[in-house]
Amino acid sequence: MVNKITVVGAGNVGATTAQRLAEKELARQVVMVDVVEGIPQGKGLDQWESAPIEGFDTRVIGTNGYQETAGSDIVVITAGIARKPGMSRDDLLNTNAGIVKQVAEQVKKTSPNSIIIMVSNPLDVMAYVALKVTGFPRERVLGMAGVLDTARYRAFLAEALDVSVRDIQAMVLGGHGDTMVPLISYTTVSGIPVTQLLDRAKLDAIVERTRTGGGEIVKYLKTGSAYYAPSSAAVQMCEAIVRDQKRILPCAAWLTGEYGMSGLFLGVPCKLGRKGLERIIEVELTADEKAALAKSADAVREPMSVVSL
Ligand code: APR
């Protein structure tokens, strides 16, 4: 358990993240911050009142300022506006960049030693904004995307194969957009290559559904985007850090030469422990996967070049 985790943004993703963090007792205190008066306070109190039933001692509070967040060990940033139907993640770019910039300035001042987990979209670019504004080392700025995309991929595979989700091992790399790269060559079912269990056409359809998984939810919800699986993914990253688990999870990390690329956040296999990003693992890729990753990197670089800092 760490002392304090802050969740910025008390909307759907933020509030669900806070509740999950508390239920797992990952911190003594979880602080939710939002610009809307009353919302973080009300949700925080409601969550704290679930503690006697759920059986956790994590104290959840909500606030509109950063004073209460001071000295946080981890800051999960979910502030921003959510994707509406027909809106791409990149449409969100400038609004959310302004919000994330302002949040990152506060985090730098009040929690200078924290590890930031970026959730706000477009994720890879928002992580870049946070890295630049805070000046934190890359070990302490990570983006949540790959864990969520991989969870979607694993869920669809488990459904198609009629097996437990627990037995599907997989990795989705690249940017958190339609160019993400689910690695079929590293997808196994309890060690059995998935290509031995599913024909190529079915696999391709699952890969495509994974790529558009976020949009599929937006289409149903109409007024917002996914939050149950995204919050689970953010909390899994927090847990790996808090408990120093040394887990290998696909996360958006700042590349400095890995996979032949530099100067951008891209989803790659990362070892997460108490220091945050402890290592980026470079796996061998097929020619197709390499090309797909390069295309994904281009899709991240483009919005990066238009964001004003
Ligand atoms: N500081 C703190 N909170 C802010 C700020 C700010 N500067 N600006 C906006 N917010 C808050 C909003 O008031 C709102 O409560 O961020 C919250 C966002 O919540 P939702 O609209 O419910 O959006 P949510 O579904 O939680 O998604 C948040 O995560 O997955 C991504 O694409 C998604 O970028 C979006 C983010």
Assess whether the C-beta atom of 267 lies below 6 angstroms from ligand 1.
Answer: no
Same domain, 139 and 151: no
First-to-last alpha carbon distance for the chain, in angstroms, is 35
* Alpha-carbon gap, residue 185 to 161, rounded angstroms: 17
Q: Is 244 helix (H, G, I), strand (E, B) or coil?
A: coil
* Alpha-carbon gap, residue 291 to 295, rounded angstroms: 6
* Structural domain contains residue 123: yes
Q: Kindly report the CATH number assigned to the domain that includes residue 190.
A: 3.90.110.10
User: Can you tell me which residue has the tokens 């959840």?
Assistant: 60
77 Cα: distance to centroid of ligand 1 (angstroms): 9
* Alpha-carbon gap, residue 289 to 102, rounded angstroms: 36
Same domain, 72 and 114: yes
Q: Kindly report the CATH number assigned to the domain that includes residue 70.
A: 3.40.50.720
94 Cα: distance to centroid of ligand 1 (angstroms): 14
DSSP class of residue 82 equals P
Same domain, 82 and 50: yes
* Structural domain contains residue 191: yes
Query: Which residue range forms the structural domain that includes residue 196?
Result: 146-304
Secondary structure tally for the chain: helices H, strands E: 10, 14
User: Can you tell me which residue has the tokens 């610009």?
Assistant: 35
* Alpha-carbon gap, residue 160 to 6, rounded angstroms: 38
Which residue among 35, 77, 106 is best mutated to probe the pocket of ligand 1, counting the most ligand atoms within 8 A of its Cβ? Answer: 35
The two beta strands, 181-182 and 188-189, are unpaired
Domain count, the chain: 2
Nearest to 10 by CA among 41, 49, 48: 41
Assess whether the C-beta atom of 103 lies below 6 angstroms from ligand 1.
Answer: yes
* Structural domain contains residue 294: yes
* Structural domain contains residue 309: no
Written as tens digits, the pLDDT of the chain (309 aa) is 999 999 999 999 999 999 999 999 999 999 999 999 999 999 999 999 999 999 999 999 999 999 999 999 999 999 998 777 777 766 779 889 999 999 999 999 999 999 999 999 999 999 999 999 999 999 999 999 999 999 999 999 999 999 999 999 999 999 988 899 999 999 999 999 999 999 999 999 999 999 999 999 999 999 889 999 999 999 999 999 999 999 999 999 999 999 999 999 999 999 999 999 999 999 999 999 999 999 999 999 999 988 877
* Alpha-carbon gap, residue 137 to 169, rounded angstroms: 30
The two beta strands, 262-273 and 276-280, are antiparallel
* Structural domain contains residue 286: yes
> What phi and psi values does residue 5 have, to the nearest 5 degrees?
-120, 130
Same domain, 164 and 119: no
Same domain, 28 and 102: yes
Domain edge (last residue) among 124, 143, 162: 143
267 is catalytic: no
Assess whether the C-beta atom of 47 lies below 6 angstroms from ligand 1.
Answer: no
Annotated active-site residue in 140, 154, 176, 211:
176
